Each structure stands twice: as structure tokens, then as C-alpha cells.
Structure 1
């Protein structure tokens, strides 16, 4: 819901801090966390019955489609938000990075509770 809300009408003082591409960095980080936590949540909710590969694919596809849906909704139903391909790209790269972190944390050397 917050992805469709405009903060431009609020008087937010950002000070002199000007970070180039801050919105893209934010998209990237949000979707990295989304994919990482999504994988952990899906595995926990399914009590480990869904394999690692299937979990990664389901979460990755869901994250990418969700990111695209939010951008389409911003384009179609909001007056002061705009959809950007760069946001979709940042979302997708963040989701892939989150999946990559899961694969790295739960590698064959470090399987923890996940079976391969």
C-alpha cells in the first residue's frame, strides 16, 4: 500500500543530504530483503517440505511479478507517482541478490537445516 502512497504532499525535510540514485538503492535493498526473508518464511511455513530449488524459484518469480505489478499500479491508478523501468530493474536485481545470499548461506558446506 505504501508503494502507491505519495509522500510529496508531506513536508519532509531531507536537509542537504543528496544521494544519487537513492530511490534505486532503496528498491534494490527492499527486494533483496524481500527475497531473503521470503525464502526463509516459505521454508518455515512449509516445515521444509518444499525443496530449496523450488523455494528459490517461487520466491524469485513472486518478487519480480510483485515489483512489476506495483509499477503498473503506480502508472495506472495514481496521479502523482510514476512507473519507471529502472525501479523494476532495481527490484529484480535486489531479488536475485537475495536469492544468491540464500544460496550462499545454505551452501553444501553450510546446509544448516535445509536439505539438498
Structure 2
């Protein structure tokens, strides 16, 4: 829901700090965390019965489709928000980075175990 609200009328003091592409960095970071948390949650909810590879694919597809849906809704339902292809790309790259992080963590010599 918050993705459809505009925060442009809020007066936020950034202290003169100007970060180029800060919105894209934010999109990337949110979707990286989304993918990591989604995989961990999905595996935990299925008590490890869902294979890691399947969990990664499900979360990746869901994250990409969700990112596209939010941009389409911003375009069609709001007057002060705009959909950007760059946001979709940042979302997608963040989701892939999150999936890559999960694969990296669970591929080490002593990977994390799902069952105690």
C-alpha cells in the first residue's frame, strides 16, 4: 500500500546530502531483503520440505511479478506517482541478488541447516 502513496509533499531535511540514484538503490535493497526473507520464510513454513531450488524459483518469480504489479498500479491508480522501467529493473536485480546471497550462504562447506 505504501508504494502507492506519495511522500513528495513531506518536507524531509536531507542536510544537503544528494545521493545519485538513491531511489534505485532503495528499490534494489528492498527487493534483496524481500528475496532473502521470502526464501527463509518459505522454507521455514514448509519445515524444510520444499527444496531450496524450488523455494528460490517461487520467491524470484513472485518478487519480479510483485514489482511489476506495483509499477502498473502506480501508473494506473495514482496521479502523483509514476511508473518507471528503471524501478522494475532495480527490483529485479535486487531479487536476483537476494537469491544469489541465499545460494551462496547455503552452498558453503557447512551450510545452515533447516532442521534442528
What's the CA shift for 1:110?
Answer: 2.8
In structure 1, stretches of 5+ residues that fail to align are none
What's the CA shift for 1:81?
Answer: 0.3
Superposition misfits of 4+ residues, deviation over 6 angstroms: none
Q: Look up the SS of the partner of 2:47 in the other structure.
A: coil
1:40 equivalent in alignment to 2:40? yes
What's the CA shift for 1:114?
Answer: 4.6
Q: Look up the SS of the partner of 2:89 in the other structure.
A: helix
Quick one: distance in 2 between partners of 1:112 and 1:91? Answer: 26
Quick one: distance in 2 between partners of 1:19 and 1:9? Answer: 19
Per the alignment, residue 100 of structure 1 pairs with 100
Quick one: distance in 2 between partners of 1:39 and 1:55? Answer: 6
Quick one: distance in 2 between partners of 1:85 and 1:35? Answer: 20
1:24-39 to structure 2, matched below 5 A, reads 24-39=24-39
TM-score by length of 2: 0.95
Quick one: distance in 2 between partners of 1:110 and 1:85? Answer: 39
Quick one: distance in 1 between partners of 2:10 and 2:112? Answer: 46
